[in-house]
Structure 1
Amino acid sequence: MKKSLMLLAISILFKADAFAQYFPTEGAMINYNSIVFEYQYIKEAKEYVVQIYEEGNNETIFTQTSETTNCYINDGIIFGKRYHWNVTAKDSTGNIIFESPDMNFETLYPEYLNEDNFGIEVFTLNSEEKAPGLAIIDHASVAFDAHGKFVWFLPAITEGNKARLRDLKMTPGGTFTYIKEPFIANECDINGNIIWNAPLEGKISGDSTEHFHHDLYKTSKGTYMVLSQKRKKKQVPDYIDPKYIKAAPGFIEEGNKFFITITYGTLIEYDKSGKMVWHWDSENYFDDKDLFFHKDTNGIINPSSHLNAFYYDEAKEIVYVSSRDFSRIIKIDKASKKILNSYGKKMPSGESKSGDGLFRFQHNPILTKNNLLAIFNNDSTDAENISSSIILLEEPKKANGEAKIKWSFSLNFDESTDGKCSRTGSVTELPNGNLLAYMGTTGRVIEVTPQKEIVWDIEVRQYKNESDWTPFVQYRANYIPVLHPVIFSVSHQLPDTLYFKKDNSLDLTLAILNEGILKDAYQISITNDAGKIIYTPQTKLIPQYQKELINLKFKPESALPGYYFIEVSSIANGLKSKRIEDIYISK
């Protein structure tokens, strides 16, 4: 073949790597039963046939035929079993043109989820009104469907249920964040592999750690905001009668002076590298008048504010911080750290500014799409006639205005519970406008409509002390729309040989099909066999369930003989990638 001396031939060849393009990979140990089977793209294929069968049983139990994609979701896999699978590709005439290796994988089954130890009782299910999706609970570290069927659990984190996790939730990209007691903040992939750790340092606390607790949030910019705390020795004001402080935790008597160690809540933001990029310190906010006014149920002064939650409104750059023991929610301008407002119990300093008596000992305030504060109101459950509730709080429109309750739902709604949730609890707004609530110490999870109809009601239970089933108390329940929010396929119709153009550019086209639930962009990397990336463009956002043709035209610095490969990675979840083909460049 005659060509100009400036032309180089690029022959597309496959390196021998039998399992590189597949998932589940050979010997995979999997902690979920809704599995995305992925397999390599075959250019001439018009149909893929996936076959799955249990080990020891040669009869195929699942067969899936697909014409448009090189992945397939199966929700029928059972925990605690070993499976084999393979895929064949057929051309337009039905002839088999490719057969994959036969691969095996195993689904794990943790002992602590054994039905003799742990269970979910479904009391109410209105499938037509309930939001589709899954619920996830933190102390048990499991996700389950509307029928109480387990779909996913977090492995290697919880030995039995000994290690307590708080605020376990899925990010939009399909990773998970959580607080592990004591004082660890992590992000992990779906398999439980750690991909980010909050640094073990004490720049704010002055200790060896920032004492992370209760709440961790990954922002849309990829930073991490986490509740933390510091301890500070403070002299007790002279006007405090010692009899009300001597029994308090952290009390110190030095001669004729009294001191107490106060725990101040802090909120820290880190970037991906672990560098602190922002923080807020409640010591700069809380007044001594309030700290030494607050008493426990025994009348002992307890100057701890106990921050237990925060919510970040990214669009408006506003942070809401919840102080449980002060029954207060603080509204903060993130950039200036100025206090914009405060809601809850009125105290000697003049704070809170409004909302006195509307809620007590609250958890998990969030902002709804209608700009109302949804709050899990634990309330004063020691009082005989008071139960916990969910409330929607309307913030004042003027600086001196009053916060108002626009909607409320009492948790004393049946004979199974008195609705008193003395600790923990959460509320989450669902895509259909319903509210998902975890009812604290009752172990109940409910979904309630704006019309106050309960469309889902369950109880999380454990068999304890060889006695009877009891509520398995969690910290929060969170919502997951799907277990695999990021799915995509990559295809192409490249010829067997490509040529550089006269200007030394290379022109090739890929097709990306976004099969996930998010709009997503993709990073494309073309890398030589020395590991150097020679071209790395990013696509525009591709809507969910749409295919886009991506034209790549570029001039590499050199075109030396060797292998190159193309990899496509999701921006929403960089752990999700497709390596399509190895390209051999020859002169």
Structure 2
Amino acid sequence: MISRLSIYILTATILYGGLQKPTAGENLSYTHILFEWDQEPDAINYNLQVAENSSFTSLILDVEESTTNYIATQNFNWGSDYYWRVRPLYNNGNSGNWIEESSFSIQHHPESTPLPDLNLNTFDEDEVYDGVMVYSQFSPYFAVGAVDKYGNEIWNTITGYMNYISPYGEIYGLNGGQGIKFNFNHEILWQTPEGIDIDSHEIKQLANGNFMAFVPTFQLGPIPIGPWTDMAQDFGYTADGISNEFWWLGLRIVEFDKETGEQVWNWDPFIHFSMNDYDQYAGTWWNAIFEGFFDWMHTNAFHFDEEESAIYVSHRHLSRISKIDYPSGEIIWNMGLPTEFGTGSDNICTDLRFSFQHHIQLMDDGTLLFFDNGNISDIVAGDEDPITRLRRVRVIDDSYCETVWQHDLPANLHGLGMGSVQLLDNGNYFIYTFGSGLNSPECSILEITPEGDMVWKATSQNPNSAWYRSYKIPSIHPSAFSVIADNYTTNNNGDYIINISDGSIHFNIYNSSGYTQPYLYQFSDLTDGEVQMFDFSEGEFELGPNESTTLSFPQANPIDITNISLSIWPMHHSYDLKELFFTAISNSQPGDMNGDESINVLDVVLLVNAILNDNEFSNNGDLNGDGMINVLDVVLLVNLILVN
């Protein structure tokens, strides 16, 4: 009998046999807990236990898991201490020793800035999209946190004020006037340079890695003639519609270099817009006289479309949505009100008559989704009272719009300010509205079906609450994933090894984050010299929620021993890099094509098929070591079988 190919991967013991997350003694600020541990030899499953005491007589979690992490979403409370341990389970039904025991705690609620209590209504639980609700509050105090569908607080942070969460679970917002990117672990991953005031409405990262945000800019302009003229003149202004005597506030769109923080591109509204266009009906000029400057645009949202190289921007006080070419900055179109309302004479889609909108987004199907606050809908649209509408429209030929979907909120949920709308994966819409329509505060998050049926609603019990945006996300652990090596075992010397019989090393990658995530990897042979056992390999792949894939790396050359590294990380969460280092020992006997520990006619058939089908090179089939498989290898294999 001919020995099978055996490649032994000896792994540095420092990487194995430990509990990784939560770290020992860690004080957490969330109640949905990610547990993570190292792979154990020969394990097919793991038993995870969590208890309220170190003797583990008061278990609150006792589960089996086939990967090396687990997200627990129930039974964990604020202000509590916990103990946890993991042991391997084997194919014969036995269990191994506990890897180790560790402990962690969950902090008490922050007493100074707690999330407000919510009045919760679930109208159709079967239709509610499963997920976590994250929202940012700015009144009566700043607070950012997350609740589950039952209204239980599960995460909070004082790291920053959230204004955007990407589809990959990246968080963006503001900290002390600086735009930031941060994560659910409260780590600031990037921030704009000091000394540059960043507007609080929107910051995002572009596909090129740079960041984009709004930066205030001022220019002197006239006070136009209107009902406010007498008051302005009483304050000492000329207010003749001509004299450039009053500060107008606009917002530049600025792109910041990801490495240096330098401003590498900007769009200035005072260059591309006319100061003859301004709000005349919502009281913005009356407010300006008191405040000492005119909030001309109140730009509050943008969406950068890489495919079109265009930016969709919402200018609230102009009741205008613009499509801007990037990088030229030229206006492709302005969508807004008819000419008679004074906010532009060349607007498209004037029949929509939206006003004071928020949260513009471009959907995958090319439609635009936004929150139409409708502050002046009684004036511009003829409504009896102002109505807030959720709108989804398609722009056709850059000239007119088709309404794809629309939902009118009831009068009590009219949102005078703020507001957001999110399309969920199940087709429902997740909505935040200030809810000030009947002069009785009703600050609310709600979920509705495409037909407009409300299935879930949460309203703040604090009448002074004002939030900015809300998002429903899969989890607060967007970077959670695990890597498991096939056939991981121990040899007779007790060394940790991977025993591979098919000429390749295989690693299984599991995405447990709940998000669709792209991943990057690098596989390297670390041995010096021109000839190495394995070729360098790097690449990218994507996994949907709870999906897995296998990375396989074939042996390139018949070398006895080498050192290997595998690095893998979620593209949008590089801070969660996993680096694994191995030593590979190869004792190779070519010819065993199917890895059944013997060489016979079946191996000849497989080798011939591999040659005929022009399959990927097989180290087991390259019997003469010339770096290719052909008829010469078949002859050698047949002779090898006859000799044995």
CA displacement at 1:265 relative to structure 2: 1.0
Secondary structure of the equivalent of 1:325?
helix
Is 1:142–2:141 an aligned residue pair?
no
Q: Which moved further from structure 2: 73-82 or 386-395?
A: 386-395
Counterpart for residue 269 of structure 1: 255
Counterpart for residue 93 of structure 1: 92
CA displacement at 1:585 relative to structure 2: 9.4
Aligned 1:224-263 pairs, distance under 5 A: 224-234=211-221, 243=230, 245=232, 258-263=244-249
Q: Where does structure 2 lack aligned partners over 5 or more consecutive residues?
A: 1-6, 138-142, 436-441, 498-502, 528-534, 587-644
* Aligned 8 A contact 2:81 2:105 in 1: yes
* Residue-by-residue CA offset, 1:352-379 (whole Å, 9 max, x unaligned): 3442671111111223445333222222
* Aligned 8 A contact 2:356 2:373 in 1: yes
Which amino acid letter does the alignment assign opposite residue 443 of structure 1? C
Q: Where does structure 1 lack aligned partners over 5 or more consecutive residues?
A: 1-8, 159-164, 201-207, 463-469, 500-505
Counterpart for residue 427 of structure 2: 433
1:119 to 107, 117, 120: 117
* Aligned 8 A contact 1:391 1:408 in 2: yes
Residues 1:50 and 1:336: Cα distance change in structure 2 (over 3 Å): same
* Aligned 8 A contact 2:228 2:285 in 1: no
* Aligned 8 A contact 1:88 1:98 in 2: yes
Secondary structure of the equivalent of 1:99?
coil
Which amino acid letter does the alignment assign opposite residue 87 of structure 2? T
* Aligned 8 A contact 2:203 2:214 in 1: yes
Counterpart for residue 448 of structure 1: 448
1:355 to 341, 344, 350: 350
* Residue-by-residue CA offset, 1:401-460 (whole Å, 9 max, x unaligned): 4x35554333226xxxx3332211111111122221111253111112221111111102
In the alignment, the residues of structure 1 paired with residue 429 and residue 112 of structure 2 have an alpha-carbon distance, to the nearest angstrom, of 27
Residues 1:275 and 1:509: Cα distance change in structure 2 (over 3 Å): farther
CA displacement at 1:87 relative to structure 2: 0.8
In the alignment, the residues of structure 2 paired with residue 194 and residue 327 of structure 1 have an alpha-carbon distance, to the nearest angstrom, of 34
Aligned 1:369-408 pairs, distance under 5 A: 369-380=364-375, 385-401=384-400, 403=401, 405-408=403-406
In the alignment, the residues of structure 1 paired with residue 564 and residue 455 of structure 2 have an alpha-carbon distance, to the nearest angstrom, of 54
Residues 1:83 and 1:248: Cα distance change in structure 2 (over 3 Å): farther
Aligned 1:57-76 pairs, distance under 5 A: 58-59=56-57, 60-66=59-65, 68-76=66-74
In the alignment, the residues of structure 2 paired with residue 391 and residue 239 of structure 1 have an alpha-carbon distance, to the nearest angstrom, of 32
* Aligned 8 A contact 1:448 1:454 in 2: yes
Secondary structure of the equivalent of 1:284?
helix
Counterpart for residue 203 of structure 1: none
1:152 to 133, 152, 155: 155
Counterpart for residue 177 of structure 1: 172
Which amino acid letter does the alignment assign opposite residue 508 of structure 2? A
Counterpart for residue 316 of structure 2: 324
Which amino acid letter does the alignment assign opposite residue 447 of structure 1? E
Is 1:490–2:483 an aligned residue pair?
yes
Residues 1:85 and 1:528: Cα distance change in structure 2 (over 3 Å): farther
Q: Provide TM-score, normalisation by structure 2.
A: 0.72
Which amino acid letter does the alignment assign opposite residue 429 of structure 1? L
In the alignment, the residues of structure 2 paired with residue 233 and residue 447 of structure 1 have an alpha-carbon distance, to the nearest angstrom, of 44
In the alignment, the residues of structure 1 paired with residue 213 and residue 343 of structure 2 have an alpha-carbon distance, to the nearest angstrom, of 29
In the alignment, the residues of structure 1 paired with residue 450 and residue 124 of structure 2 have an alpha-carbon distance, to the nearest angstrom, of 15
CA displacement at 1:213 relative to structure 2: 2.3
In the alignment, the residues of structure 2 paired with residue 12 and residue 244 of structure 1 have an alpha-carbon distance, to the nearest angstrom, of 82
Is 1:481–2:474 an aligned residue pair?
yes
Aligned 1:17-56 pairs, distance under 5 A: 22-55=20-53
Secondary structure of the equivalent of 1:475?
strand
* Residue-by-residue CA offset, 1:46-79 (whole Å, 9 max, x unaligned): 231111111366312211122x311122112222
Q: Which moved further from structure 2: 384-393 or 35-44?
A: 384-393
* Aligned 8 A contact 1:245 1:300 in 2: no
Counterpart for residue 459 of structure 2: 459
Which amino acid letter does the alignment assign opposite residue 259 of structure 1? E
Secondary structure of the equivalent of 1:336?
coil
Residues 1:579 and 1:394: Cα distance change in structure 2 (over 3 Å): closer
In the alignment, the residues of structure 2 paired with residue 56 and residue 513 of structure 1 have an alpha-carbon distance, to the nearest angstrom, of 31
* Aligned 8 A contact 1:40 1:580 in 2: no
In the alignment, the residues of structure 1 paired with residue 517 and residue 62 of structure 2 have an alpha-carbon distance, to the nearest angstrom, of 30
Name the % identity.
21
Secondary structure of the equivalent of 2:300?
strand
Which amino acid letter does the alignment assign opposite residue 571 of structure 1? M
Q: Which moved further from structure 2: 16-25 or 425-434?
A: 16-25
CA displacement at 1:395 relative to structure 2: 4.3
* Residue-by-residue CA offset, 1:295-345 (whole Å, 9 max, x unaligned): 636497746111111122333333211111111111112243221211223
Which amino acid letter does the alignment assign opposite residue 478 of structure 1? Y
Secondary structure of the equivalent of 1:520?
strand
Counterpart for residue 107 of structure 1: 106
Counterpart for residue 191 of structure 2: 197
In the alignment, the residues of structure 2 paired with residue 540 and residue 300 of structure 1 have an alpha-carbon distance, to the nearest angstrom, of 52
Secondary structure of the equivalent of 2:126?
coil
Query: Aligned pairs, how many?
Result: 534
Q: Provide TM-score, normalisation by structure 1.
A: 0.79
* Aligned 8 A contact 1:390 1:410 in 2: yes
In the alignment, the residues of structure 1 paired with residue 395 and residue 455 of structure 2 have an alpha-carbon distance, to the nearest angstrom, of 31
* Residue-by-residue CA offset, 1:216-248 (whole Å, 9 max, x unaligned): 223344332222221233467899997575578
CA displacement at 1:275 relative to structure 2: 4.2
Counterpart for residue 6 of structure 1: none
Secondary structure of the equivalent of 1:476?
strand
Which amino acid letter does the alignment assign opposite residue 479 of structure 1? K
* Aligned 8 A contact 2:504 2:552 in 1: no
Q: Which moved further from structure 2: 388-397 or 22-31?
A: 388-397
CA displacement at 1:23 relative to structure 2: 0.9
Q: Which moved further from structure 2: 11-20 or 259-268?
A: 11-20
Counterpart for residue 296 of structure 2: 304
CA displacement at 1:266 relative to structure 2: 1.2
1:472 to 451, 465, 470: 465
In the alignment, the residues of structure 1 paired with residue 582 and residue 189 of structure 2 have an alpha-carbon distance, to the nearest angstrom, of 28
Residues 1:266 and 1:239: Cα distance change in structure 2 (over 3 Å): same
Residues 1:553 and 1:184: Cα distance change in structure 2 (over 3 Å): farther
Q: Looking at CA atoms only, which structure, 1 or 2, has the larger radius of gyration?
A: 2
Counterpart for residue 12 of structure 1: 10
* Residue-by-residue CA offset, 1:502-555 (whole Å, 9 max, x unaligned): xxxx974433233444253332365979xxxx9672354455512313216579
In the alignment, the residues of structure 1 paired with residue 505 and residue 582 of structure 2 have an alpha-carbon distance, to the nearest angstrom, of 14
Counterpart for residue 573 of structure 1: 573
Residues 1:396 and 1:114: Cα distance change in structure 2 (over 3 Å): closer
Counterpart for residue 338 of structure 1: 330
In the alignment, the residues of structure 2 paired with residue 434 and residue 406 of structure 1 have an alpha-carbon distance, to the nearest angstrom, of 14
* Residue-by-residue CA offset, 1:67-113 (whole Å, 9 max, x unaligned): x3111221122222111111112333344444322111111232349
CA displacement at 1:252 relative to structure 2: 9.8
Counterpart for residue 537 of structure 1: 538
Q: Which moved further from structure 2: 379-388 or 449-458?
A: 379-388
Secondary structure of the equivalent of 2:67?
coil
Counterpart for residue 204 of structure 1: none
| Superposed CA RMSD | 4.0
CA displacement at 1:43 relative to structure 2: 2.4
CA displacement at 1:578 relative to structure 2: 3.0
CA displacement at 1:18 relative to structure 2: 8.2
Secondary structure of the equivalent of 2:277?
helix
Residues 1:304 and 1:252: Cα distance change in structure 2 (over 3 Å): farther
CA displacement at 1:39 relative to structure 2: 0.8
Residues 1:498 and 1:361: Cα distance change in structure 2 (over 3 Å): closer
* Aligned 8 A contact 1:311 1:367 in 2: yes
